[in-house]
Structure 1
Amino acid sequence: MQIMTLTRRAMILGAAASLGGCSALSSINEAATPLDTYDLSPAAGSGAGRRSGVTLLVALPNAPASIATDRIMVKPSAAAVTYLPDARWSDELPALVQSLLVRSIAGTGQMGYVGPSEAGPMPDLALLSRIDAFQVEVNNAALIAKIDVSLTLLRDSDQSVIKTAAFQNEVTAGNDTPAAIVAAFQAILDTLLPQMATWAAKG
């Protein structure tokens, strides 16, 4: 199903508001409809340099409630939020991004152990992250995938901040199908994940 234009979406939202009690039945029907599920792939950073025995645990990223879901968010305007009607991520976005970070950093081969903070040995370092944007923005006829993630590396022993950095990029989707939109997100990650992985692995 293609993304609705802003005008058509506004008409449908206005009609939905007038339906009153019908909205609950509509929600039940939508919940019963299976959605196509899309995954994203890790991309390791540079493997150059000596391997260390450092242990790194990656915390579950913080994210606004509108992003912290398994739905693919669309912003038709600065204040409006909606979601692709027939597609979802393979997991809630914070968990998906955490997994991508773990696998990308581990893929550098420069650290002794990399894993999620929910399990693993006592860490030397901890990686905190905040997802500020992970959405499709509608700009005239263009659909632009946008990702903005901030990382903070901590020394676990005293919780002191070692360094912090922000990583962001955007890519215009080839068309308005879910597959094309997900491909745009993956294109961004193919650039950002190696940068983030190399940055974190250098400690």
Structure 2
Amino acid sequence: MCLPLAACTVLPQPPVSQVWLLPAQPGTSASGQAINRSLRVVQPNTSQFINSSRIAVQPQDAEITVYSGSRWSDSVPVLVRNRLTQELRTNGRFISVSSDDDNLQADLELGGDLSAFQGVYRGKKGEVLIQFDAHLVQTSDRRVIASQRFVIRQPINGRSMNEVVAAFGLASDTLAAETLRWLQNTGAIRSPLP
């Protein structure tokens, strides 16, 4: 029974997929005052299309598709959560930083809505676009204590997937750095716990 199936070549062979890690530059450790709070980073909410491991691209106007034969090593919300968690842990200002995978108690929770994480082309010029509407929640009463919109645009310097992925990495680094700066400057997290 197995021999005829193994010899059959009528079915098309699926294309070999390239699996990409999201590149990340090392973050910097803290130099300012410690924040005496624990923080949990959760996967951002996003559209069904972005909530996958496919690498999204807008080749023109409102059309959205994916880069053929390539995918991320994990789903986009997990990649973004992990990048933010990595940056916050490296910085070391919070007494602890966990993710929603850890299921640990935390004073604060960082989440939000990820409405864009894709390559965008206008003619031959391409850029990576990330739009993240972040909110910081006090976990004791689920109250939003701060919110911020981040729109990151990073030029894609070339047409190869290596160059596309590198641009996604730089854009994610910028998002992580700007999110960290925003959290450090949010006065609400320094107020006494209820």
TM-score for the superposition, normalised by structure 2: 0.82
Q: Which runs of 4+ in 1 moved over 6 A?
A: none
Counterpart pick for 1:195 among 173, 178, 182: 178
Instruction: Tell me if 1:63 matches 2:46.
Output: yes
> Could you say which residue in structure 2 is the equivalent of 1:136?
119
Superposed CA deviations along residues 50-91 of structure 1, whole A, max 9, x for unmatched, are: 223311111111111111111110112233121111221111
Question: 1:87-106 counterparts in 2 under 5 A?
Answer: 87-106=70-89
The residue type equivalent to 2:165 in the other structure is V
For residue 149 of structure 1, the aligned residue among 114, 124, 132 is: 132
Q: State how far apart, in whole Å, the 2-side matches of 1:39 and 1:189 are.
A: 8
Any conservation in 1 of the 2:80–2:172 contact (CA below 8 Å)? no
CA RMSD of aligned residues (A): 2.0
Cα deviation, residue 151, structure 1: 0.7
What is the CA-CA distance between 1:118 and the residue it aligns to?
Answer: 2.9
Conserved 8 A contact 1:70-1:92: yes
Q: Tell me, in whole angstroms, the C-alpha distance in 2 between the residues paired with 1:93 and 1:183.
A: 15
Structure 1 position 29 matched with structure 2 position 8: no
Structure 2 residue matching 1:144: 3-state secondary structure: strand
CA positional deviation for 1:42: 5.7
CA contact (8 A) 2:117 2:131 kept: yes
Structure 2 Cα separation of the partners of residues 118 and 37 of structure 1: 22
Find the residue that maps to 1:134 and give its secondary structure: strand
Q: What are the Cα deviations for residues 6-26 of structure 1, in whole angstroms up to 9, with x where unaligned?
A: xxxxxxxxxxxxxxxxxxx66
Write 1 or 2 for the structure with the bigger share of helix.
Answer: 1
What count of residue pairs does the alignment treat as equivalent? 176
Percent identity over the alignment? 26
Any stretches of 5+ residues in structure 2 without a counterpart?
1-10, 190-194
User: What amino acid maps onto 1:180 in structure 2?
Assistant: E
Pairwise CA distance, 1:111: 0.6
1:29 is paired with a residue of what secondary structure?
Answer: coil
Distance apart, 1:200 and its partner CA = 2.5
The correspondence for 1:47, drawn from 30, 38, 48, is 30
TM-score (norm 1): 0.79
Hey, which of these two has a bigger chunk of strand by percent?
Answer: 2
Structure 1 residue aligned with 2:68: 85
- The runs of 5 or more residues in structure 1 that have no matched partner are 1-24
